[in-house]
Amino acid sequence: MADIPFPRLLLLLALLLCHLIAINAFAQTDLGSMRGHVQDRQGAAIISATVTLRNPATSWQKTTQTDLGGDYSFIGIPLTGDYTVNVQAAQFKAIQQGDVQLRAGSIAVVNFTLDVSGEKSETRLIRVSTLGRLRIRLS
């Protein structure tokens, strides 16, 4: 192994250190991420719920759907203040969570439990007797 003079070794180490600092500086980002889970009161996952992330200060927004496990995620969110998350699903009351703060280098986790909406659905059982004959005349 060749001997490197001490001043050159110092210069090489200084250049290497500057290079590593520059790489680390470029790795910094102004983007955040968020994920979460949407379920009902019994703990069952709600599939295809619409999750909307919105920044009220800038009007930036992004929408996604929950997957088969009731999970959702947002990646590449600008770090420009607090966010509001809205969740809507058929047959459930919509829900909103405000003041969600995102930080660079971390993933915010926001989970939701939805209540069944107040709309009543009605199921009727109709019995058809086969004792008589039914005639339908089409014109």
Q: Is 48 left (phi over 0), alpha (psi -120 to 50) or beta?
A: left
Residue 125: φ, ψ to 5°: -100, 125
pLDDT level of residue 18 (50, 70, 90 thresholds) = low
Interval 84-111: pLDDT, tens: 999 999 999 999 999 998 888 889 999 9
Domains in the chain, ordered, with CATH?
A: 30-114 (2.60.40.10)
Distance CA 121, CA 62 (A): 32
Work out the mean pLDDT of the chain and round it to a whole number.
Answer: 80
pLDDT (average), residues 72-80: 91
Q: Which of 90, 44, 45 is nearest to 70 (CA)?
A: 45
H-run or E-run covering 11: helix 6-27
Q: Which secondary-structure segment (H or E) carries 74?
A: strand 71-78
* pLDDT tens digit sequence for 42-72: 999 999 999 999 999 999 999 999 999 999 9
Is the pLDDT higher at 74 or at 125? 74
Q: What angle do CA 115, 121, 122 make, to 5 degrees?
A: 150
Residue 24: pLDDT above 60?
A: no
- Two tokens at 81? 């203040």
Cα separations in angstroms, 132 against 94, 128, 129: 49, 10, 7
Q: Which residue has the higher pLDDT, 7 or 31?
A: 31
